[in-house]
Structure 1
Amino acid sequence: MSADQQAWQAPTAPGALNARVKVPGSKSLSNRYLVLAALGQRQVCLEGLLRSRDTDLMIGALTTLGALCHVDGDDPSRVEVTPPASGLFTAGGCVDCGLAGTVMRFAPALAMLGDGPTRFIGDRQAEARPMRPLLDGLAQLGAVIEYQGEEGHLPFTLYPPQGCKGGRVDIDSSGSSQFISGLLLLGSRLPQGLIVHHEGGPVPSLPHIRMTVSDLRQAGIRVEADEKDGCWRVQAAEGRPYPQLPERVQVEPDLSNAAPFLGAAMVAGGSVSVVGWPASSTQPGALLPGILSDMGAQVDCTDGVGGNKACTVCGSGKVSGLGDYDLSAAGELAPTLAALLVFADGPTRLHGIGHLRGHETNRLAALTAEINRVGGRARELEDGLEINPVGRDAMHPAVLESYGDHRMATFGALLGLGILGVRVRNIATTAKTMPDFVGMWAGMLEDGRG
């Protein structure tokens, strides 16, 4: 069997959908809660935690650094985290970051609280992702970074200072909001606190920094945020030098992972409901209902069956173009929206997402290549992506690359709903955030047949 034949056959829509979907916990919240639990002083039980490659890598990183992470044998989404008894993280180990941005940007900050050096490695693709701003910030706090490859990238060894006190760091975070989040998490444990000042172009994905700020406040840490001036100040509360989450924390569903399922209703027609939708959330995916509404969907986020909150999207198979659209607050939604906009009735220019060139793959180049591969029309912009629809009849079967990127794989699945004969290479890469994506996708379509 050829490589093309081994690629996953993306199913086309069987007709109008009528499905209810439950997505696993938020990756962004799961990894932030894991870090904050490890930074505390008592055991914390995290419930509804996403179990995927990214969160397993974070659990592995924390274990290497000396925290204990006990996974419930009956419910793997229930994880108890016990911080190192001494408050210092263990040195001398090697942290595998895989391709997880939160691990490669948060774990080195934790290693600043270690009692010696820690080595960091990752997947080959991870070695192309930028790290320099974070590492420059840690160097300003006294760290010494020894690179084993290209400067500013994995792999490297971090030598922490003796007794990191805090202070101020100035970095350019225009490449990733995770640089600021990683430093703020570290600052929660520094005796003098930390001021993080951004100098450079616009900071992408500000909602992710707001999520970090909210989680720190939930753990009793004082945070002042001046987004206009690009300045954040974090300080442990008086008499409480450690962040401390509640003893039990429930993780919200991943709203960005809900996007392909809700978007399916717009391609196939009918309705898809995602249950467990929070009344309010710091996740960038919380912007999804408004965006899909702008694209012509009927969206209702109300109480569902049994009192569970649900977000329901009803579509007719028609999609409205967005014209010029600022997506800087939710760039992680770009692959899903790009797939939908291939079927739109007018052009769209998504702006404010130039930083996607530094994600798991260069997502702007990848989206452009794969849209054009099926006969669509797309081109990169300096800060985004332009999509000019050609009509469904003008598109044709193709084998799409996933680039080892979970969102490119789900992008391919969405295209396959409306284009007969689409295959996706390495659909298994969805395990990064959704271990059973193929089963969930098939279950949604089976509901449509019923």
Structure 2
Amino acid sequence: MEDMTQADLWPAPTATGRLDAVVAVPGSKSLSNRYLVLAAMGNKPVDILGLLRSRDTELMMDALRALGVICAVDGQDPAHVTVTPPVDGVFNGDVDIYCGLAGTVMRFVPPMALYADGPVRFDGDGQAYQRPMGPLLDGLEQLGARIVYEGEAGHLPFTVFPPASFPENPHGEAAQVRIDSSSSSQFVSGLLLAASRLPDGVTLRHEGHSLPSMPHIRMTMEDIAFAGGSVTFEAPATWRLRHRSLQLPSSVTVEPDLSNAAPFLGAALIAGGSVSVPHWPAHTTQPGGLLPMMLRAFGAEVSLDGMDVTDADALSTLDDHHAGVLTVRGTGAIHGLGEYDLSAAGEIAPSIAAIAVFADRPSSLVGIGHLRGHETDRLHALVTEIERVGSRASELADGIAIDPVPDSGLHGAVMETYADHRMATFAAMLGLRIPGIEVVDVQTTRKTIPDFTGMWQAMLDQNAPA
């Protein structure tokens, strides 16, 4: 670990009593950046309400602005952004786009360069150079683009040279693209978000050994349909996208980021008491929508507007657009999960791992081997930081095993975050019950939660009556 000054470290607060907190979670990063891209792909202005304002969404808006898209922020409401696409639908070429460490920017924007009037260069943070990009760029080459790498092939930085034209198939057959999306579902999503403009659409086939985070791909499909597109899925892993002009409604509202709710809701188990999140959608395509049942498996009581989340009959009476208050109550016991498949929601694995550190028996979180290619190698990072506080963990081929020890065997430590926002929130969760934890670069949480430390302290200040 690099030497850090005291000013660089955030002392993670320890819970002093049972919680009785309400936490308003900002908008979904996944939906915010998908809506921004789809609005830019349309032909009329779109008002996006409840947009997450974080480093990733700022990077996305800056990328779209470079391409000639107007992203105007309401002076009275920063979460209200009006997106106006170029009048002729052609994006600016001969521009540079900085992706930071944002996977949605580096995977969703390069396909838009197919419709630019010149080459588009992409770069990012140094750590972004480690993130895989090859399959997405292979797909763009299959659609006629030319890719020039400035460093390692298949990684940032690179330049996308758009095709001079898209030849129309006399038989009306869709363009054929085959990629291996085993390391990120964002390769599929990025191609699908942009491909409706292709003259005959596209048939996209995934040919890898596994396909992570299908909920994120289903989210993309639903959002494309919301914008007037036509995309269908054929098992085992083929998507057919017809040629369509995309246009979101004139006004759309972003759901809360349910994955970002995971640290706060998980705090109810670790610290005890209850935490509620308002505006929780009864039906959602967000992977974080799986969180209530995961917390239930740990032993929590979980309800939506007072209805037990396991009561399928009661929940079925809620309409598709119902949003209510989700409440998680810690019962005083945290049960280990045994072997638990997290492949559908790998992004919340760090929060699930933090809870598992305090469980009464081991947990093996599997189906998440692709996390080795996220902001950092999250599996290695989780094992390292769990062992740093005195617990036991090990890497599996496609996940991690956590063998908890009694609280008396845990101790404080300076915890690394690896420039990864979810490792920072993971460390904060451990700090609820382990005194003396200090977190390196907690401000990396600005990637998706602009004021995480303020929200975390405000939650802890809402103690249940003695």
> Smaller-chain TM-score range?
over 0.9
Matched to 1:184, the amino acid is L
Matched to 1:298, the amino acid is E
Task: Indicate if the aligned counterparts of 2:23 and 2:459 stay in contact, CA closer than 8 A.
Answer: yes
2:180 is equivalent to residue 178 of structure 1: no
Could you tell me how far apart the structure 2 residues matched to 1:2 and 1:402 are? 12
2:451 is equivalent to residue 431 of structure 1: no
Could you tell me how far apart the structure 1 residues matched to 2:274 and 2:42 are? 43
Could you tell me how far apart the structure 2 residues matched to 1:134 and 1:357 are? 18
Task: Indicate if the aligned counterparts of 2:259 and 2:287 stay in contact, CA closer than 8 A.
Answer: yes
Could you tell me how far apart the structure 2 residues matched to 1:19 and 1:35 are? 35
For normalisation by structure 2, the TM-score amounts to 0.93
2:347 is equivalent to residue 340 of structure 1: no
The secondary structure found in structure 2 opposite 1:61 is helix
2:44 is equivalent to residue 42 of structure 1: yes
2:286 is equivalent to residue 278 of structure 1: no
Task: Indicate if the aligned counterparts of 2:281 and 2:323 stay in contact, CA closer than 8 A.
Answer: no
Could you tell me how far apart the structure 2 residues matched to 1:221 and 1:18 are? 44
2:266 is equivalent to residue 263 of structure 1: yes
Shift of 1:5: 6.1
Which whole-Å deviations, capped at 9, do the CAs of 1:192-217 have from their partners, x for residues lacking one? 10111000111000000000000000
Could you tell me which runs of 5 or more consecutive residues in structure 2 were left unpaired when the two chains were aligned.
Answer: 168-173, 308-321
Report what 1:367 is aligned to.
382
Report what 1:233 is aligned to.
240
Report what 2:394 is aligned to.
379
Shift of 1:163: 2.1
Matched to 2:151, the amino acid is G
Report what 1:440 is aligned to.
455
The secondary structure found in structure 1 opposite 2:122 is strand
Where does 1:232-251 land on structure 2 (aligned, <5 Å)? 232-236=239-243, 241-251=244-254
Task: Indicate if the aligned counterparts of 2:282 and 2:323 stay in contact, CA closer than 8 A.
Answer: no
Where does 1:173-322 land on structure 2 (aligned, <5 Å)? 173-226=181-234, 228-236=235-243, 241-302=244-305, 309-322=324-337
Could you tell me how far apart the structure 1 residues matched to 2:143 and 2:265 are? 44
Matched to 2:259, the amino acid is S
The secondary structure found in structure 2 opposite 1:440 is helix
Shift of 1:345: 0.4
The secondary structure found in structure 1 opposite 2:53 is coil
Task: Indicate if the aligned counterparts of 1:112 and 1:164 stay in contact, CA closer than 8 A.
Answer: no
Q: From 23, 26, 29, give the equivalent of 2:25.
A: 23
2:93 is equivalent to residue 87 of structure 1: no
The secondary structure found in structure 1 opposite 2:72 is strand
Could you tell me how far apart the structure 2 residues matched to 1:6 and 1:170 are? 45
Moved runs in structure 1, 4+ residues, more than 3 A? none
The secondary structure found in structure 1 opposite 2:462 is helix
Could you tell me how far apart the structure 2 residues matched to 1:198 and 1:180 are? 8
Count of aligned residue pairs for this structure pair: 443
Matched to 1:253, the amino acid is P
Query: Aligned pair in 2 of structure 1 residues 6, 69: CA closer, same or farther (>3 Å)?
Result: closer
Could you tell me how far apart the structure 2 residues matched to 1:189 and 1:148 are? 29
Could you tell me how far apart the structure 2 residues matched to 1:125 and 1:61 are? 19
Where does 1:375-414 land on structure 2 (aligned, <5 Å)? 375-414=390-429
Could you tell me how far apart the structure 1 residues matched to 2:204 and 2:188 are? 7
Task: Indicate if the aligned counterparts of 2:301 and 2:331 stay in contact, CA closer than 8 A.
Answer: no
Could you tell me how far apart the structure 2 residues matched to 1:439 and 1:291 are? 26
Could you tell me how far apart the structure 1 residues matched to 2:177 and 2:276 are? 44
Could you tell me how far apart the structure 1 residues matched to 2:81 and 2:166 are? 29
The secondary structure found in structure 1 opposite 2:90 is coil
Query: Aligned pair in 2 of structure 1 residues 4, 168: CA closer, same or farther (>3 Å)?
Result: same
Which whole-Å deviations, capped at 9, do the CAs of 1:99-153 have from their partners, x for residues lacking one? 0000000100000111110000000010000000000000011111000111000
Shift of 1:302: 1.6
Could you tell me how far apart the structure 2 residues matched to 1:199 and 1:352 are? 18
Report percent identity of matched pairs: 59
Task: Indicate if the aligned counterparts of 1:4 and 1:425 stay in contact, CA closer than 8 A.
Answer: no
Task: Indicate if the aligned counterparts of 1:318 and 1:343 stay in contact, CA closer than 8 A.
Answer: no
Matched to 2:202, the amino acid is L
Task: Indicate if the aligned counterparts of 2:420 and 2:444 stay in contact, CA closer than 8 A.
Answer: yes
Shift of 1:317: 3.7
Matched to 1:290, the amino acid is M
The secondary structure found in structure 1 opposite 2:115 is coil
The secondary structure found in structure 2 opposite 1:448 is coil
Could you tell me how far apart the structure 2 residues matched to 1:92 and 1:127 are? 22
Could you tell me how far apart the structure 2 residues matched to 1:394 and 1:118 are? 53
Matched to 2:341, the amino acid is D
Could you tell me how far apart the structure 2 residues matched to 1:446 and 1:164 are? 58
